[in-house]
Amino acid sequence: MDALPINAVNVNKQAIHLQALPPFAQRNREIQAILADPRLYETLGSSEMIQSIEKTEEGYLIKTYHYALEVTVVYETEKRIIGPVPFHLEFSDLKALF
């Protein structure tokens, strides 16, 4: 029998690969967490409307008409896991765009 990759399990002689969520699903969880985090609204205030959320190398850049806010996504594991990768968010100081 051929050797299975490290991230596979042999069940009834079939290889089932165990992986983290697909990138779309992981990003969806991250963006939802940012939007649900009270720090976002404490930082921006209720009068600022989000114009864009851009993926960056370390997380996301959130822009309103007046401000930019960097949110870093810190992954809490370096191991390959099944399902969503645990993470926490770090919010930077608000930067004026003008």
Read off the tokens for 23.
């990138």
- For residue 3, is it within any domain? no
- For residue 25, is it within any domain? yes
- For residue 29, is it within any domain? yes
Q: Could you tell me the pTM of the whole model?
A: 0.75
- For residue 10, is it within any domain? no
d(CA 55, CA 30) in angstroms, rounded, equals 10
- For residue 61, is it within any domain? yes
- For residue 2, is it within any domain? no
Q: Find the domain containing 51 and state its range.
A: 20-96
Q: Cα angle vertex 19, ends 15, 22, to 5°?
A: 125
Looking at the structure of the chain, the number of domains it has is 1
pLDDT at position 19: 58
Walk along the chain (98 residues) and give the pLDDT tens digit of each residue.
Answer: 444 444 444 444 444 445 567 888 999 999 999 999 999 999 999 999 999 999 999 999 999 999 999 999 999 987 777 788 899 999 999 999 98
